[in-house]
Amino acid sequence: MDFAAIDSAITRLGTGRDALIALLQTIQEAYNYLPPEALTYLSQKTGIPEADITGVATFYGQFRLRPAGRHTIKVCVGTACHVKGADRTFEAFQRELGIAPADDTDAAREFTVEKVACLGCCMLAVAVQVDKTIYANVTPTKVPSVLRDIRASLSPDSRTSELPHFRTSSPGAVVRLCACSSCAAAGAADVLREIRRVIHARHLPLLVREVGCTGGSYHAPLMEIAMADGHHFRYGRIRTRDIEPILLEHVRPARLAARLAARLRALAETAFTGGAEEPPLRFPLSVRDQPDACYWTRQQRIATQCAGELPPLDLDDYRARGGFTAYEKCTGGRASPRAATPMPPEQVIAEIEASGLRGRGGGGFPTGRKWRAVAKGGAGISARVDSGGQEFPKRGAYSPPHLAPVIVCNGDEGDPGAFMDRMLLESYPFRVLEGMMIAAHAVGAQEGILYIRHEYPLAVQRIKAAIEMLVAHGVLAVPSQHREDAVRHPLTLRVVEGAGAFVCGEETALLASIEGRRGIPHVRPPYPAERGLHGRPTLVNNVETLALIPWIIREGAENFRAVGTPGSPGTKAFALAGKIERGGLIEVPMGLTLREVVTQIGGIPEGQAFKAVQVGGPSGGCIPAALCDTPVDYEALTHVGGMMGSGGLVVLDATDCMVDIARYFLSFTRLESCGTCTGCRIGTKRMLEILERLCEGKGQPGDLERLERLAQTVREGSICGLGKTATNPVLSTLRHFRDEYEAHARGICPAKKCRALIRYAVTDTCIGCTLCAQACPAEAIAFTPLQRAAIDPALCTTCDICRQLCPAKAIEVLDAQ
């Protein structure tokens, strides 16, 4: 075996234990899995025991120890995708590729199909990622066409070179388009290429700007044309064929020949089609005149300020819109030539305390209090080293790296149904980094680490690019730089990619992962603020928390407190998805009720009944519609059996089974448990066994009471947040939807969701078109043209393809009994 890739990685990353996960990621990228020979070689080169390397490799979900196909198809089974039928989509991929249920790779080793906890594209469920391309809204019936598109894109003939940009000294307008991960999944990447092609081919005086996401993913791809006279025109759900007519409607070609060609094309379209096709969705000039005005007007943007206008990696534009003003205010103009009086670290911390900001990662711990604890720990170390007795380290003061405080941005957004961190990292990288820089100044840190999950490659790419720009401008130091230069370069920042372990969202497990170990939570105290990464005082803040910091310092704590509620000030970003009309990233003031968020911002589709909202992912609970006048507030949500969590909101309707939802979340937490605590390791397994029996119609007397007792045992016997909150979805559904549990104990699923408890039948409205028979993968429907079809229950696998395809809506779902 050729080990050149490993040697190259070691040269770049080093042989230290904290480089182990990055080294394993490099090996897997090179070989598609972790060959045993490669792990042995890595052990010999680094001196890390092979048993330790294997222990890390088997802990994280990203790593494979058996060969894989040349390309990987990842089917998202996050909450929003689960309720949209992700399991059936996964089965369809296996069926089309001839993969046995017990295997994951086809015979030709072309494709490996696997489930992934969340791709962060919940508003486009079911989401599927193939290598680095994401497909949206993939149902079982669409799987064959997706596979055809995949194979076509892998063909050498499909590769096209990038067109040169047509440059003009005076662009007549600016075209804005977001191509973040979720918008790209909706087709934005293809639209962006087509925009550039048309501009080049027609010599249009246009400037194309790839901007941060508006959050309105239900309209993606969403394009805006900003004219020189100040007018803005927005188009949603655009396709590549819409681009040329839209652009030519607003901008004339720069050259006479191009204008004549465009005119002739328009005349030809009129002659042959009766007129050019109208754009799919054109918005009025005023957002308040839009049918979905509530989606935009009920939001208040702080973390997502300048949404849809700010190019993610345009440093000059970020500064022009107030970026780094807050950092300069804290440090005395360190980010620009302007001189200013710096804010002492104590004053910065006091301002954050006065704002009432609480951690947006789920726990809601007061941010200022955490900062003060880290600063106090760092000051204590400085006092022992320098004997200066300072309460806070002096600005630019140098402490030995093994003792100085360190700051960590927790971007390991592993909650199924959450994508706030991904969109903030992709759309506002400089804002997140500025928040880190302010926090580092406040606590005396000279090193910062952004821990970002590996499923977010675009977020990683943009954050790394933003760091490189700040280094080039002399604002940040190079990580390998000698620390004697610490006064001029006060901080280094670097990215560490997670390897797929939900438990690493817990801060002590996250720090263990950064150190190159299994992500197992530690008993606290000591807290990371006292002794964290490599024994140093460590500040761990969530992405959204850090994105709010610059606004607070720039606008003042009082203005932040004026938003929200007294106990939960400010705004909160939510990933809104599920059975709604308008899904995406929203930012609303705390105190808005769940009902307002769901019905006014999200919107319930006509003919559907709002049943419940799942709040906070695996750590949260299911709140019924009857209790959705509860305000978005840390304490209020806890009172009704929910939890703020990181901010996932998945809306459920009458077709969703609450027992199935509880089973889904418990299967996730059982799989993600690190196994340290007996209650969590064994208790979640026993609870899952009960829930699976209920969903299969095999419930036993006393199951519901056993569930409640086990849930209490798991909660009391776990040391970390995963175990203590793992039972919330079960307890909240038992509390609010006990009648559904009792029905399952009798072998009935009221929502007709659990596949073991339902059967499919054909009604009298069948027109005999035979589409169902032609598409049935189990051959459970006989081919009888112009006759009413019949489904053989002995062969039917309840894959749902027949119901999705039936043009007459003649397939009904009945109780199995």
pLDDT value, residue 525: 86
Please report, for residues 373, 376, 379, 383, 406, the alpha-carbon distance to residue 388 in angstroms, rounded to integers and kept in the order given: 19, 14, 9, 5, 20
CA neighbor of 464 nearest in space, from 419, 407, 408, 426: 426
Tokens of 307: 């949404």
Q: Got the DSSP string for 540-572?
A: EEEHHHHHHHHHHHHH-HHHHHTSB-SSSBSEE
Position 480 pLDDT exceeds 70: no
Tokens of 383: 């006092």
Tokens of 660: 């199935």
With cut-offs at 50, 70 and 90, classify the pLDDT of residue 1.
confident
Task: Give 654 or 119, the one with higher predicted confidence.
Answer: 654
* Chain-centroid distance, C-alpha 20: 25
Dist CA 287 CA 211 (whole Å): 19
pLDDT value, residue 794: 94
pLDDT, one tens digit per residue, over 600-626 is: 999 999 888 999 999 988 888 899 999
pLDDT value, residue 257: 61
- Tell me if 741 sits within 8 A of 711, measured CB to CB: no
DSSP summary character for residue 342 = P
Burial string for 479-518 (b: 16+ CB within 10 Å, else e) reads eeeeeeebeebbbbbebbbbbbbbbbbbbbbbbbbbebbb
Burial string for 612-638 (b: 16+ CB within 10 Å, else e) reads bbbbbbbbbbbbbbebbebbbbbebbb
Dist CA 574 CA 649 (whole Å): 6
DSSP summary character for residue 162 = P
* Residue 525 burial class via C-beta count within 10 angstroms: exposed 0-12, middle 13-18, buried 19 and up: exposed
- Tell me if 441 sits within 8 A of 324, measured CB to CB: no
Segment 265-271 shows an average pLDDT of 52
* Residue 114 backbone dihedrals phi, psi, to 5 degrees: -140, 160
What type of residue is 636?
A
Segment 468-494 shows an average pLDDT of 74
Phi-psi region for residue 796, left (φ > 0), alpha (ψ -120 to 50) or beta? beta
CA neighbor of 421 nearest in space, from 645, 204, 225, 590: 645
First to last CA, the chain: 58
Mean pLDDT of all residues belonging to the chain:
87
Dist CA 130 CA 71 (whole Å): 7
Widest CA span of the chain, in angstroms?
93
Range with top average pLDDT, 117-131, 136-150, 225-239, 553-567: 553-567
Taking each helix axis from N to C end, the angle separating 4-13 and 36-46, rounded to the nearest 10 degrees, works out to 40
CA neighbor of 6 nearest in space, from 20, 26, 21, 22: 26
Position 96 pLDDT exceeds 80: yes
Dist CA 629 CA 623 (whole Å): 10
Where are any strands of DSSP class E within 52-132?
A: 71-76, 111-116, 128-130
Lowest mean pLDDT among 232-241, 444-453, 777-786: 232-241
pLDDT value, residue 402: 54
- Helix, strand, or coil here: 33? coil
Please report, for residues 365, 407, 495, 661, 775, the alpha-carbon distance to residue 352 in angstroms, rounded to integers and kept in the order given: 13, 16, 25, 38, 60
Point out which residues pair with 74 in neighbouring strands: 114, 129
CA neighbor of 694 nearest in space, from 737, 651, 642, 633: 737
pLDDT value, residue 367: 97
Q: Got the DSSP string for 578-635?
A: ESSSS-EEEEEETT-BHHIIIIIII-PPTT--EEEEEESGGGSEEEEGGGTTSBS-HH
Dist CA 127 CA 412 (whole Å): 19
Segment 660-667 shows an average pLDDT of 94
pLDDT, one tens digit per residue, over 496-528 is: 999 988 899 899 999 999 999 999 999 888 899
Can you give the three-state secondary structure of 276-341, one letter per residue?
CCCCCCECCCCHHHCCCHHHHHCCCCCCCCCCCCCCCCCHHHHHHCCCCHHHHHHHCCCCCCCCCC
- Contacts for 52 with CB less than 8 Å, ≥ 6 apart: none
- Contacts for 357 with CB less than 8 Å, ≥ 6 apart: 366, 367, 368, 545, 548, 549, 552, 560, 569, 570
pLDDT value, residue 294: 87
* Residue 696 backbone dihedrals phi, psi, to 5 degrees: -100, 5
* Residue 567 burial class via C-beta count within 10 angstroms: exposed 0-12, middle 13-18, buried 19 and up: middle
Segment 559-569 shows an average pLDDT of 96
pLDDT, one tens digit per residue, over 187-196 is: 898 899 999 9
CA neighbor of 499 nearest in space, from 131, 116, 117, 62: 62
Tokens of 652: 């459920």
Dist CA 490 CA 505 (whole Å): 28
With cut-offs at 50, 70 and 90, classify the pLDDT of residue 485.
very low
Please report, for residues 689, 696, 698, 708, the alpha-carbon distance to residue 734 in angstroms, rounded to integers and kept in the order given: 16, 18, 18, 8
With cut-offs at 50, 70 and 90, classify the pLDDT of residue 394.
very low
Tokens of 692: 């699976």
pLDDT, one tens digit per residue, over 299-351 is: 999 999 999 999 999 999 999 999 999 999 998 875 444 446 889 999 999 99
Instruction: Please state whether the peptide bond connecting residue 126 to the residue before it is cis, i.e. omega within 30 degrees of 0.
Output: yes
With cut-offs at 50, 70 and 90, classify the pLDDT of residue 747.
very high
Dist CA 737 CA 731 (whole Å): 10
Sheet architecture: strand order including 621-624:
584-589, 571-578, 648-653, 610-615, 621-624
- Tell me if 413 sits within 8 A of 360, measured CB to CB: no
- Contacts for 391 with CB less than 8 Å, ≥ 6 apart: 346, 375, 376, 379
With cut-offs at 50, 70 and 90, classify the pLDDT of residue 267.
low
- Tell me if 555 sits within 8 A of 56, measured CB to CB: no
How many CA atoms does the CB half-sphere of 719 hold within 13 Å?
15
Give the torsion through C-alpha atoms of 409, 413, 419, 423, to 10 deg.
30
pLDDT, one tens digit per residue, over 400-411 is: 555 789 999 999
Q: What is the pTM of this model?
A: 0.89
Rg (CA), the chain: 28
Position 290 pLDDT exceeds 50: yes
With cut-offs at 50, 70 and 90, classify the pLDDT of residue 260.
low
pLDDT, one tens digit per residue, over 24-76 is: 999 999 999 999 999 999 999 999 999 999 999 999 999 999 999 999 999 99
